[in-house]
A and B are shown apart, each in its own frame.
Chain A
Amino acid sequence: MLNWLRRPKYAQVERREVPAGLWSKCPRCKALVYRKELERNLKVCPKCGYHLRLSARERIAVTFDPGSFVEHAADLDSRDILGFVGYQEKLEEAKKRTGNREACIIGEGTIEGFRVVTAVLDFPFLGGSMGTVVGEKIARAAELAMSKGLPLVTFSASGGARMQEGILSLMQLAKTSAAIGRLRDAGLAYISVLCDPTTGGVTASFAYLGDIVMAEPGALIGFAGPRVIEQTIRQKLPEGFQTAEFLLKHGMLDMVVPRTEMRSTLARLLRFFGAPRETRQEAAVP
């Protein structure tokens, strides 16, 4: 069952005529990779190890035991509360394109049998930005974890607070952090996984409040975006600045975990944090 998690030994790819769409080009090493091979390798380039970004649904599919994930609060919908120019159109477009209603999916499921509550940000949906609904869902995930006595695992990928909801977005930083505070007081564990990219208000709130904070290799993580910093200090940023590896070196992460080892790493940690384990691989009861 875990075969698909192992990084396959990569044989030389035969060059031959193939219909377009069967091959993907790695954004980093530019190698052509057979698309199915890439999917099997969890969208990690088999040539150079580059971690391609995952949507929230893809993240759930590669992280949770098959069929175990049960979504909560799926019906929450954003509105253009401030009447912000162009926001309604952007929301509609993002909904149509991603098939999701917001930039966050929450629910519960099992990872190698360990039951957890999860919240996953969806970068393709308006850059995974946190407005009132995303904040609400994070808070509900923390409260769900408390009501069920389960650990919380979040996967972040976000440009930060959602500008189009103005101050209400900013207040979600306080709301989500307060909810994590209650989770902590309740004695439950919280593991935060930072994926490429996680910046701004998401790092400055729940995403950095994990008891364990880990990241995928190469992920861009920071409070301010690199461009803002360059403009402020008027100099070029050093190579590798704000990558997961950079933050690990500076003591800002517990570990950098390749995607192919994410499930086993989370499971290993969850053992220490009192996550109940289902012996049979069956779907969690909602």
Chain B
Amino acid sequence: MVQAGEGNNTVAEELSVAPTPWEIVQIARHPKRPRVMDFVEGLFGEFTELHGDRLFGDDPAMLAGLALFEELPVAIVGHYKGKDTRENIARNFGMPHPEGYRKALRVMKLAERMRLPVISFVDTPGAYPGIGAEERGQAEAIARNLEEMSRLRTPILVVVVGEGGSGGALAIGVGDVILMCAYAIYSVISPEGCAAILWHDASRAEEAAAALKLTAEDLHRLGVVDEILPEPPGGGHLDPEALISTVRDAVRRHLALLRERPIEELLAARYEKYRRIGQLLEAPGT
């Protein structure tokens, strides 16, 4: 078992048998796992949802709004997965269209002007691949968010709470500090998609899940995630309150730290954070 690092008493100590990457994928996708809306309700005393991108429509797969975190005004964006099949269909399984990303950006730009910190909750299988999404510029919408978030002049705290599905997750996932729940996943492609491409056999997703290095521990080791948030044994769905409480504590701690730092310093560090991913290639021995 790899060390979770920095005093996180995670998986190893709380479970006699550590879950495999594939088991973690199942936990991250578990129908009873707390959704973004559960975290919003659990963390914020007050939440005002804001709708629409002012360009095309209002994407039900993306949540955006203003909230109070222990009296501190913040802006919130997050993927909106449903709790059951009916709600999931209405919410497109948390897979946004371009208007979802543009709504999120609109609210983040508002946060920048009002000097509100942004808290982003990530939980999506990915950006929706469909005809309308392509027609309206899914790629452009994601790209624009990446650029704008990289230099948004307000602190951004990202919490990966469930599925981090590739570009559709990253499109609201660029920030100063990236937290990740112990049994969340974050990957460039789904294990099923990876297996289909590699072996022309989606049923070998279990192997692909291991190869992709998509667990919180992997991401922490690779320098992509700053801190792993421990989960109850077996996963957050077994004790949602415990996981929500852990996330609340972490958000409180990091928000306080982020708000102390001058914005110019924050922006420089944010750029460096992403800029250095890949510079390890110049290490001796290449």
**With A167-B219, A174-B170: A223-B133 Cβ-Cβ less than 8 Å:** yes
Q: Which of A58-66, A177-185, A260-268, A270-278 contacts B (4 or more CB under 8 A)?
A: A177-185
Say whether B249 faces chain A, with CB atoms less than 8 Å apart: no
Q: Which of B170, B197, B281 is A133 in contact with, Cβ under 8 Å?
A: B281
**Chain B, 212-232, contact with A by CB distance < 8 Å: what is the 0/1 string?**
111000110010100000000
Choose from A135, A177, A241 the contact partner of B134 (Cβ within 8 Å).
A241
Residues A77 and B286 in contact in the complex (CB < 8 Å), given A168-B222, A223-B138: yes
Compute how far the CA of A182 lies from the CA of B193 in the bound complex, rounded to whole angstroms: 34
Is A223 a contact partner of B271 (Cβ separation < 8 A)?
no
Chain A residues near B144 (CB-CB < 8 A): 208-209
Inter-chain contacts of B263 with A (CB < 8 A): none
Q: What residues of B have a CB within 8 angstroms of the CB of A1 in the complex?
A: none
Which of B28-36, B37-45, B124-132, B251-259 interfaces with chain A? Answer: B124-132
Count the A residues whose beta carbon is within 8 Å of the partner chain — how many? 59
Q: Could you tell me which residues of chain B, from 127 to 160, have a CB within 8 Å of some CB in chain A?
A: 127-131, 133-140, 142-144, 146-148, 150-151
Question: Any chain B CB within 8 A of the CB of A68?
Answer: no
- Complex: how many Å from CA A224 to CA B131? 10
Digitize A148-172: 1 where CB-to-B-CB distance is under 8 Å, 0 elsewhere.
0000000000000111011111111
Q: How many residue pairs, one in A and one in B, have C-beta atoms under 8 Å apart?
A: 181
Most central of A84, A161, A201, A233 by chain B CB within 10 Å:
A201
Residues of B within 8 A of A (CB): 127-131, 133-140, 142-144, 146-148, 150-151, 166-167, 170-171, 174, 186-189, 193-194, 197-198, 207, 211-214, 218-219, 222, 224, 270-271, 274-275, 277-282, 286
A168-B277, A171-B278, A208-B140 given; 7 more Cβ-contact pairs under 8 Å: A84-B211, A132-B280, A168-B224, A178-B270, A180-B147, A207-B139, A223-B134
Q: 12 pairs across A/B with beta carbons < 8 Å?
A: A132-B281, A163-B198, A165-B188, A167-B187, A169-B188, A170-B188, A182-B271, A204-B146, A223-B134, A229-B130, A242-B134, A252-B140
